[in-house]
Amino acid sequence: MKFGKEFLSQMVPEWQEAYLDYNNLKAVLAEVSLSKQPKASDASGKLKRKVSLYRAFSGLTGRRHSPRMQDDAIITNIVQNGSEESYQSMFFMSSDQGGENEVVFFRRLDYEFNKVVRFYKKRVGELIVEAEELSKQMDILVALKIKVENPDVAFEDVNEHVDLAGSVATSTCNSINGRVSDCIFEGRSHLEITQEVEGEDDAASVDEDIEAKESKGHCRKGSRGSIQATQELRPASLDFLPHVRINISPETPASTIKYMVARSKARLSYNKTELRKSEELMTRALIQFYQKLQVLKGYSFLNTLAISKILKKYEKITSRKVSKVYLDMVDKSPLGCTIELTRLIERVEAAFIKHFANGNRRKGMDILRRKIRRERHGITFFSGFFFGCALALIVAIILVIHLRDIFESEGRNQYMNNIFPLYSFFGFIILHLMIYSANIYFWRRYRVNYTFMFGLKQGTELGHREVFFLSSGLAVLTLACVLSHLDMEIDPETKSYEAITESIPLALLTAVLLIIFCPFNIIFRSSRFFLIRSAFRLVCAPFYKVTMEDFFLADQLTSQVQAFRSLEFYICYYGWGDFIRRTNSCSQSKIFEAFYFVVAIIPYWIRTLQCIRRLIEDKDVKHVFNGLKYFSTIVAIAMRTSNDLNMGLTWRTLALVSSVVATISGTYWDIVCDWGLLRRNSKNPWLRDKLLISNKSVYFAAIVLNVLLRLAWMQSVLGFREAPFIHRQALIAIVAVLEIIRRGIWNFFRLENEHLNNVGKYRAFNSVPLPFNYDNEETRTG
């Protein structure tokens, strides 16, 4: 893989604009290369001369010599502009052929390098501030732990101090507030790391760079022991513990109720439950902080490597020496001096291993390190196998229907009214899973960081192969059951079907539910439990803090209304119907009619409650309009359901008006608010400024499809409930399928817009609540 592609794949998606613009620099180098090429007349003359020389001295042309590298063509300088530093290079051979383009290259390289340095310095400064806050939180936690385990201990006797930040802010590599002149490097320099990445071919040249660099004395290597010796910690007294209050964030039902009652932060009560919750929050906070440090260190290394690569390309094109001089300036910059991050990482590791892993370094590092999801070849194989089996079963079902002439049999309506709704439930789920697997594939292709937005556990998130494996496996089970259930023969004496055959849909539903709630570590247990937890949060919608995965899942459920009604039919058919004779009286039951309405509005009611919760927390008026949109859908569903059950001109008129209002508001919100499109004055007219898909027609096609599929939602109120060539249950299923397809299209563009918002704000990490609140005046240690 070429470095440009590797560079892009290793970027933090939300920080993409803060990285070195490697492709742009390569484009500038292409212009430099073109300017270096001789003119056509000169080229023909040189070619003739080469041929004649080859004929005259053919014995001397067997050995090829690489062009001699010219002396350093640039000088570098660090300019102090107030509190900011600017790194500049000066190319003093602009009078040569193509020199103007080389000047442009170095100006562009300086601009990109300064951009990277400013971003890096800002992030390091933020991490140091965060480290100081985490140090205070750790001090409180250690004191609380000692107080819980030894209640009689005096506050002034608690003198253990955790210092994550240390003296990083005033370290010898003072790159946050001042100029970097002398950096103490631990381990290897960036040139040495670059040598390993580039391979053995450039080893000799890199060794020369390292020797020259060390001979000039720009960076001196110091041992780890000497660095730590300069920053020996002294324990501080934590007599501020009585002034600390536990942080009760209204994120769970219990904490929300407690917050509403108390309206203040509760003081510490020094009990084990309090200690356990505090340790859980601190564990999450330290893991998140450690991963931030690792990501920023990777950002530094990747950009330094990109600078080295682009300079070597320049040297290859122009035969000028510039890498050593420019990389000297890079190593003097904050980007080349990662001593702050190294110290922060070591301190976090030491504190985490000591306090959360009982001194077991292997266990502590296993928790801290990012988990990488492993691709399994077996998943790919079985996905294809199950998909092939599903296609074969579909062909078999079509043949059985055709050979037995089932569509013309007497039991056709009986089957469609009683059995078809049972299996359509699984059909809706299978289709939704397949579309979701396609969503994941395209999110990854266009580098949409869906795992971050959904808060998925690293290393356990499902990829498109795993989701497709689940959908194809469920499709095989469902189609096999359908094939075994297509026997339309009835016993003429008892007028009944076999009980075992008629119980197949119920057995299939039971098996699926058992797999979902199975406590054993099989079939993606962590993802199943994540789904269960998310579903429980939806049930308690107003009492849980609403996150991205919460309202995204609730939106998926709004497109599965017919699946909820099929699940209700399961209960009625097997609970109160005569399933042996394939008959039911569900439509005559008032209870069934009531729940037929209730199950349809549950997803929309959940979203309405979520909008209310977000309005209370964010104080953003847009949540009011979003909630009204879902409430208008609830009204439309109520009117439509009443129209289906009562059939009258008044109900039909009310259903039509409410459905039109709900459709217009929903369509507008989808395109303008959720997708961020139809911006008249954007760089891409009627779309938005930033687009992940280069083909703009895709967005316009998605807009048209969304409008058309939204209109399909109105078929029941427009009088198209029956058709001479299709059964009513089949028509209902087709409309439900169109809604699921619309939701799949909505999913991609919704997360694309959210991702671009995160990119604009460089938001690559979620905020983690800290366990304690305190007043700085009261907690001053003196």
pLDDT digits (tens, 9 = 90+) for 104-158: 888 999 999 999 999 999 999 999 999 988 988 888 888 888 878 877 666 555 5
Q: Are residues 181 and 304 in the same domain?
A: yes
Spatial contact of 440 and 463, defined as CB atoms under 8 Å apart = yes
Q: Which of 523, 547, 564 lies at the terminal end of a domain, its last residue?
A: 523
- Asked if residue 402 belongs to a domain, the reply is yes
Nearest-angstrom CA–CA distance, 567 and 571: 7
Q: Does 279 share its domain with 297? A: yes
CA 39 distance to own-chain centroid:
51
- Give the whole-number percent of the chain exceeding pLDDT 70: 77
Reported as a pLDDT band with limits 50, 70 and 90, residue 55 is: very low
Query: Per the domain annotation, does 492 fall within a domain?
Result: yes
Model confidence pTM above 0.85: no
Is pLDDT of 601 > 80?
Answer: yes
pLDDT tens for each residue of 696-737: 999 999 999 999 998 887 665 555 555 566 888 888 899 999
Is pLDDT at 468 greater than 50 in this prediction? yes
- The model's confidence at residue 205, banded by pLDDT at 50, 70 and 90, is very low
Res 195: pLDDT:
39
How does residue 40 score in pLDDT terms, banded at 50, 70 and 90? low
Residue 388 lies in a domain: yes
Higher-confidence residue: 205 or 731? 731
Average pLDDT over the chain reads 79
Residue 577 has pLDDT above 50, yes or no: yes
- Please check whether residues 383 and 312 belong to one and the same domain: no
Residues 243 and 322 placed together within one structural domain of the fold: yes
In this predicted structure, the answer to whether residue 604 has a pLDDT above a threshold of 70 is yes
Question: 399 or 253: which carries more pLDDT confidence?
Answer: 399
Whole-angstrom Cα distance, residue 335 to residue 297? 9
Looking at the structure, tell me whether residues 311 and 362 fall in a common domain.
yes
Number of neighbours of residue 772 by Cβ within 10 angstroms: 22
Same domain membership, residue 344 and residue 399: no
In terms of residue numbers, what domain contains 332? 128-370
pLDDT for 187 equals 37
pLDDT digits (tens, 9 = 90+) for 486-525: 877 776 666 677 788 888 999 999 999 999 999 998 899 9
pLDDT at 65: 43
Q: Does residue 329 share a domain with residue 271?
A: yes
- pLDDT of res. 199: 43
Q: How confident is the model over 474-487, as a mean pLDDT?
A: 91
How far from 602 is each of 538, 634, 772, CA to CA, in Å?
Answer: 10, 9, 37
The residues near 325 (Cβ < 8 Å, ≥ 6 apart) are 72, 74, 75, 76, 89
- Angle between the 99-149 and 22-36 helix axes, to the nearest 10 degrees? 160
Q: Which residue has the higher pLDDT, 641 or 446?
A: 446
Is the same domain home to 319 and 438? no
Q: How many domains are contained in the chain?
A: 2
pLDDT given at position 718 = 55
Judge whether 626 lies within some domain.
Answer: no
With vertex at residue 404, the alpha carbon angle to CA 400 and CA 408, rounded to the nearest 5 degrees, is 120
Q: What pLDDT score was predicted for residue 63?
A: 41
Q: Is residue 512 part of a domain?
A: yes
* Pair 175, 268 in one domain: yes
| Mean pLDDT computed over 55-66 | 41
Identify the domain boundary among 502, 523, 544: 523
Q: State whether 365 and 387 are in the same domain.
A: no
Same domain, 325 and 395: no
Q: 201-210, 568-577, 744-753: which has the minimum mean pLDDT?
A: 201-210
pLDDT number for residue 254? 64
Angle of helix 728-760 versus helix 697-712 axis, rounded to 10: 140
Query: d(Cα 549, Cα 1) in Å, to the nearest integer?
Result: 34
Q: How far apart are CA 478 and CA 334, in angstroms?
A: 60
**Which of 312, 340, 370 is where one domain is finished?**
370
User: Is residue 716 in some structural domain?
Assistant: no
Is 105:32 a contact under the CB 8 Å cutoff? yes
